[in-house]
């Protein structure tokens, strides 16, 4: 057996032919006679019956056939080779006789789901016939997932979704694929994921935050999956996605203002005020309660109350240094929403109650609280003050409850206008005898001033518009806000172009709750 090859005539033969014309003539005659004899004795090729061979990739098989004359054997596929003398060939040749060749089947050009066939073509006497078909078995669609450490997590069938950072993974498949059917709350790093055959590609998943969903874990379910599909839609590999929730110990606080300290609470506990300080922009006033939002894993957090003790230092509420044996600071919790209320304070001089009292409210994530709960005061308070890191990260509010000079009724609002002489005037309002159905005490009556067609400017003393408060204007059940109002930084302009046909209610709100109401009475009906 040998590889097929062609060899040219040598120089020595040519020299011999040139020695003599007589010799040439004799030789030509001899050759003609010989050719005539070869034609008479030519062998008709007899081809063996076709054989079918089934194998897997990376197999070796023996292939035996009989040739009755010189032959060559070729393979039609690059994944089917002949192994001879430690060499791999696609064509072999040899002389007549029974031949056994070794077939080497590789995984070249192998695609999932497809059966591959190679033809073994035998050539003898100028004819070529297929004497063998080698069928390489198809393979199943296979896709593997590896975590960031390179560990195969395919069998788990689960991919994790990160909180603030992508949880990364690698994908490798024996088919071309693309990631599809991702849940709407999950972000895929780069926006898409496409992979070539047997090539690792990187991916990553993290949650899309909406201020709520990121707080809660998502368990594995059939509803939350990522799918890897082949480009022809014949194979789908599905993995469940899970989310562990926010990082334990992480917490975000939302307060009514930028600063947690320097709040003043009225003695009746109904008014919370923070004067302009540092980089803040104006006074902030709240009524009845202070709202907060605590964002942490599964809304699991602890509220801690502290107060200034009789020694002038800060202590846990209820400690031996506390002036008071009763609870006077309260927090109502609804998920991550908090409402702080303060009881009325009437100092009892007989008991030695101070004229004012100071309180502090802190929030701790569950993980952080568990670390310090056994030595709570020692951890939070250092040298009689709240430790700096807790003041910066955990303090919701620090306040003093004390006597606050009450403004007269006519200062519940500052209402100014220009009269017919273009002189600036200030209108006076009075407190109403009833709440007009608003459920609050701060309802005021204003007789419509004669502004000669000019507007009124109303300052509710509530801080910045839209940041600290909002307003709605009503005629009966009709909202006429856009018709009568122009917002300013800390006040509103009320259009007063003509006498009112009906009374108008101007309702000021904080956190969607009614705070103050100004009822403007029509000049016509007074």
Q: Return the percentage of the chain with pLDDT > 70, whole number.
A: 88
Write down the residue that tokens 């194979």 correspond to: 235
Query: Could you write out the DSSP letters of every residue in 216-229?
Result: S-B---TTSEEEEE
Domains 143-243 and 251-401 share a fold: yes
Q: Taking residues 188-194, what's their average pLDDT?
A: 95
What confidence tier does 450 reach under pLDDT thresholds 50, 70, 90? Answer: confident
Asked if 473 contacts 517 with a C-beta cutoff of 8 angstroms, the reply is no
Per DSSP, the three-state class of 372 is: helix
Whether 30 shows a pLDDT value over 80: the answer reads no
In a 10 Å sphere around its CB, with 0-12 CB exposed, 13-18 middle and 19+ buried, how is residue 248 labelled? Answer: middle
- The predicted-structure confidence for 109-137, as pLDDT tens digits, reads as follows 777 777 789 999 999 999 999 999 998 87
Asked if 337 contacts 272 with a C-beta cutoff of 8 angstroms, the reply is no
Across 181-250, the runs of DSSP E, i.e. the strands, are 186-188, 194-195, 201-207, 225-230, 236-243
- The predicted-structure confidence for 321-360, as pLDDT tens digits, reads as follows 988 888 999 999 999 999 999 999 999 878 888 999 999 9
Whether 196 shows a pLDDT value over 80: the answer reads yes
Task: Report the pLDDT value the prediction gives residue 282, as an integer from 0 to 100.
Answer: 62
Range among 16-30, 323-337, 491-505 with highest mean pLDDT value: 323-337
From the list 327, 330, 394, the residue with the least C-alpha distance to 362 is 394
Q: What is the mean pLDDT of the chain?
A: 86
Query: Could you write out the DSSP letters of every residue in 449-510?
Result: P--TTPPEEEE-SSSSBTTTBEEEEEETTEE-HHHHEEE-SSSEEEP-SS--SS-EEEEEEE
Give the global pTM.
0.56
Per DSSP, the three-state class of 312 is: coil
**When comparing pLDDT for 230 and 15, which is higher?**
230
Task: Report the pLDDT value the prediction gives residue 220, as an integer from 0 to 100.
Answer: 93
Asked if 395 contacts 260 with a C-beta cutoff of 8 angstroms, the reply is yes
Whether 420 shows a pLDDT value over 70: the answer reads yes
- The predicted-structure confidence for 268-300, as pLDDT tens digits, reads as follows 999 999 976 544 446 788 999 999 999 999 999
Task: Report the pLDDT value the prediction gives residue 28, as an integer from 0 to 100.
Answer: 45
The CATH number, out of the four listed (2.60.40, 3.30.160, 1.10.3470, 2.40.50), of the domain defined by the range 409-521: 2.60.40
480-510 as b/e: b if 16+ CB within 10 A: eeeebbeeeebbbebbbeeebeebbbbbbeb
- The predicted-structure confidence for 75-117, as pLDDT tens digits, reads as follows 999 999 999 888 899 999 999 999 999 999 988 877 777 778 9
Task: Report how far residue 101's alpha carbon sits from residue 71's, in angstroms, rounded to the nearest whole number.
Answer: 13
Task: Report the pLDDT value the prediction gives residue 2, as an integer from 0 to 100.
Answer: 52
167-196 as b/e: b if 16+ CB within 10 A: bbbbbbbbbbbebeebbebbbebeeebebe
- The CA-based dihedral angle spanning residues 262, 268, 271, 272, taken in that order and rounded to the nearest 10 degrees: 20
* 245 CB neighbour count, 10 Å cutoff: 18
Within 8 A by CB and 6+ apart from 20, the residues are none
Asked if 515 contacts 440 with a C-beta cutoff of 8 angstroms, the reply is yes
- CATH for the stretch 143-243: 2.60.40
- The structure tokens listed for 160 are 């994790």
User: In what order do the strands lie in the sheet containing 284-287?
Assistant: 284-287, 271-274, 263-265, 395-401, 357-365, 301-308, 314-316
**When comparing pLDDT for 422 and 185, which is higher?**
185
251-401 has which fold?
Immunoglobulin-like (2.60.40)
Q: How far is CA 36 from the centre of its chain?
A: 87
Q: Taking residues 487-516, what's their average pLDDT?
A: 88
Task: Report the pLDDT value the prediction gives residue 45, as an integer from 0 to 100.
Answer: 94
**When comparing pLDDT for 512 and 406, which is higher?**
512
Q: Where are the domains of the chain?
A: 143-243, 251-401, 409-521
Asked if 67 contacts 122 with a C-beta cutoff of 8 angstroms, the reply is yes
DSSP label at 349?
G
- The predicted-structure confidence for 130-148, as pLDDT tens digits, reads as follows 999 998 877 778 899 999 9
- The structure tokens listed for 264 are 């003043």
Whether 165 shows a pLDDT value over 90: the answer reads yes
């Amino acid at each position: 057996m040998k590889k097929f090859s062609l060899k040219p005539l040598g120089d020595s033969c040519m020299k011999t032919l040139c020695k003599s014309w007589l010799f040439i003539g004799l030789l030509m005659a001899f050759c003609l006679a010989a050719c005539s004899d070869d034609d008479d004795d030519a062998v008709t090729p007899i081809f063996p019956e076709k054989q079918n061979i089934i194998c897997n990739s990376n197999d070796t098989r023996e292939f035996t056939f009989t040739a009755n004359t010189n032959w060559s054997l070729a393979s039609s596929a690059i994944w089917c080779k002949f192994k001879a003398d430690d060499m791999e060939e696609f064509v072999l040749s040899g002389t007549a006789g029974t031949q056994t060749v070794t077939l080497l089947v590789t995984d070249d050009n192998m695609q999932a789901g497809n059966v591959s066939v190679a033809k073994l073509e035998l050539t003898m006497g100028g004819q070529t016939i297929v004497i063998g078909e080698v069928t390489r078995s198809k393979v199943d669609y296979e896709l593997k997932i590896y975590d960031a450490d390179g560990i195969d997590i395919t069998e788990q069938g689960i991919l994790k979704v990160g909180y603030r950072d992508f949880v990364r993974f690698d994908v490798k498949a024996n088919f071309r694929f693309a990631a599809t059917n991702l849940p709407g709350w999950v972000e895929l790093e780069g926006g898409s994921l496409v992979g070539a055959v047997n090539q690792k590609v990187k991916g990553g998943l993290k949650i899309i935050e909406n201020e709520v969903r990121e707080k809660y874990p998502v368990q594995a379910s059939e509803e939350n999956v990522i799918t890897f599909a082949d480009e022809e839609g014949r194979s789908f590999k599905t993995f469940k996605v899970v989310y562990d929730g926010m990082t334990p110990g992480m917490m975000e606080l939302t307060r009514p203002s930028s600063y947690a300290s320097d709040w003043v609470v009225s003695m009746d506990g109904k008014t919370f005020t923070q004067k302009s300080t540092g980089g803040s922009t104006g006074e902030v006033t709240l009524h009845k309660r202070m709202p907060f939002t605590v964002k942490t894993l599964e809304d699991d957090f602890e509220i801690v109350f502290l107060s200034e003790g009789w020694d002038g230092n800060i202590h846990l509420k209820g400690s031996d240094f506390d002036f008071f044996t009763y609870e006077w600071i309260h927090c109502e919790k609804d998920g991550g929403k908090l409402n702080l209320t303060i009881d009325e304070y009437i100092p009892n001089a007989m008991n030695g109650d101070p004229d004012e009292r100071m309180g502090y409210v802190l929030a701790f994530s569950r993980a952080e609280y568990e670390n310090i709960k056994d030595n709570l005061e020692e951890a939070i308070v250092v040298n009689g003050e709240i430790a700096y890191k807790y003041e910066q990260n955990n303090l919701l509010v620090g306040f003093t409850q004390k006597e606050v000079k009450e403004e007269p009724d006519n200062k519940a609002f500052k209402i100014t206008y220009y009269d017919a002489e273009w002189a600036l005037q200030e209108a006076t309002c009075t407190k109403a005898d009833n709440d007009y159905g608003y459920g609050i005490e701060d309802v005021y009556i204003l007789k419509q001033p004669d502004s000669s067609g000019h507007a009124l400017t109303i300052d509710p003393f509530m801080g910045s518009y839209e940041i600290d408060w909002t307003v709605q204007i009503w005629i009966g059940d009709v909202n006429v806000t856009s018709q009568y109002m122009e917002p300013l930084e800390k006040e509103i302009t009320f259009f007063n172009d003509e006498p009112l046909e009906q009374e108008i209610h101007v309702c000021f709100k904080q956190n969607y709750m009614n705070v103050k109401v100004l009822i403007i009475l029509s000049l016509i009906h007074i």
